[in-house]
Structure 1
Amino acid sequence: MLELKNVVKSFNGKTIINNLNLKIQDGKILTIVGPSGAGKTTLLRCISGLEKIDSGEFLLDGQPFDPYESRDNESVIGVVFQDFQLFPNLSVIDNITLAPINVLHQKETEAKERVQNIIERLDLTKFVEQYPYQLSGGQKQRVAIARALAMNPSILCYDEPTSALDPELRNEVSKLILDLKENGITQVIITHDIEFADKVADDTLTVKPVD
């Protein structure tokens, strides 16, 4: 379980997150909803270690944990970005194995073997030698998820995973997220899509702009 206690984050003197307390249960899906400017993405960036909090603390399974300082954070908390952030000059398989090779120091053959089940689970086998420009939005989404899962994270975070997807692809992402839950992956999802949130969430946090 990941717990946030009295977390505060400000930018340029404006408080975005004010004394937030939150528990993210193992194997559950937490959706974070609220209007633009309420701090949803900032909260996700703090949880994933992309932003350093001003005060407060994180506990992972009851032990102090700093996502920002942790060197092996990518193997604890993975992130699927809204714009996917795939490397255009790398094939699908190279995008997926880049971090295991460079961060976990796996050999290329080992990395490819280890991600094979992820590739099969996400139905990406026939795309592994293609490049991002050759993929649809839904396919890029699956590659981004596979890349995050390749680091074997305990928690997987998404920033607006259904934005710019048509209804059919949105349903595909919903099914994928629920399938990952069945495999014990804890997931945190930032979304404006209330219908989608209702479909996948075990718990929902509604955030509002700090006065």
Structure 2
Amino acid sequence: MLELKNITKRFDGRTIINNMNLTVPDGQILAIVGPSGAGKTTLLRCMSGLERIDSGEFRLDGQVFDPYENRDNDKVIGVVFQDFQLFPNLTVMENITLSPEMVLKQSKTEAEARAQELIDQLDLTGKETLHPFQLSGGQKQRVAIVRALAMNPKILCYDEPTSALDPDLRETVEKIILSLKASKMTQIVVTHDMSFAENIADQILRVEPIKPS
């Protein structure tokens, strides 16, 4: 279970997140919705350790946890970025196995075996030797999801996973997220798409911009 206790984040003197309290139970899906500038992505970046909070604390399974300071954060909270952030010079298989080999110290054989399981699970079989420029947007997104899952995270976060997808691919992403929920994966989804959020989420957090005092 992930808990946020009085989380506050400021940029240049402006408060983006103010004393937020939130609980995400194990195996559930939280959708974070709200208008542009409301702090959705900032909150996700704080949860995943990409930004340092100004005050408050995170708790994971009852223990204080600092995503920003945790050196093995990829093993705890994985992130699927809006722009995918795949390495253009690496193949699909190499993109997926790089971190497990370097961070988790898996052997090449072990990393590739786990990657292949995930590739097959997300219908990417046959794409292993392709480079990102040879993939569609939906395929790149699935590779990004596989890459995050290959680190065996406790929690998987997504930043606007449907923003550039047509309706058919949007439905595919829904199915992937719900299939991961069936395997007890805790997930946090930032989205501007309210109907998508309602289709996947156990709880929806609506955030609004904080007006300057």
What TM-score, normalized by structure 2, do the two folds share? 0.98
Q: What is the deviation of 1:48?
A: 0.3
CA deviations on 1:32-65 (whole Å, 9 max, x unpaired) are 0000000000000000000000000000000000
- Say which SS state the counterpart of residue 188 (structure 1) adopts: strand
Does 1:125 find its partner at 2:125?
A: yes
Asked if 1:204 is matched to 2:210, the reply is: no
Structure 1 ranges of 4+ moved more than 4 A: none
Percent identity over the alignment is: 68
Residues 47-101 of structure 1: CA distance to partner in whole angstroms, max 9, x if unpaired?
0000000000000000000000011110000000000000000000000011101
Q: Which runs of 5+ in 1 are unaligned?
A: none
Over the aligned positions, Cα root-mean-square deviation in angstroms equals 0.6
Alignment partner, residue 100 of structure 1: 100
Partner AA of 2:54 in structure 1:
D
CA distance in 1, matches of 2:160, 2:20: 21
Instruction: List aligned pairs for 1:40-119, cutoff 5 A.
Output: 40-119=40-119
Amino acid aligned to 1:153: P
1:143 counterpart SS class: helix
Per-residue CA shift, 1:135-192, capped at 9, x if unaligned?
0111001000000000000000000000110000000000110001001110000000
Matched, 1:22 2:22: yes
Offset at 1:114? 2.1
Rounded to whole Å, the distance in 2 between the matches of 1:125 and 1:41 is 31
Q: Residue 64 of structure 1 aligns to which amino acid in structure 2?
A: V
Mapped partners of 2:67, 2:57: distance in 1: 10
The 2-side partners of 1:124 and 1:94 are apart by 14
Q: For the residues of structure 1 that align with 2:126 and 2:112, how far apart are their CA atoms?
A: 15
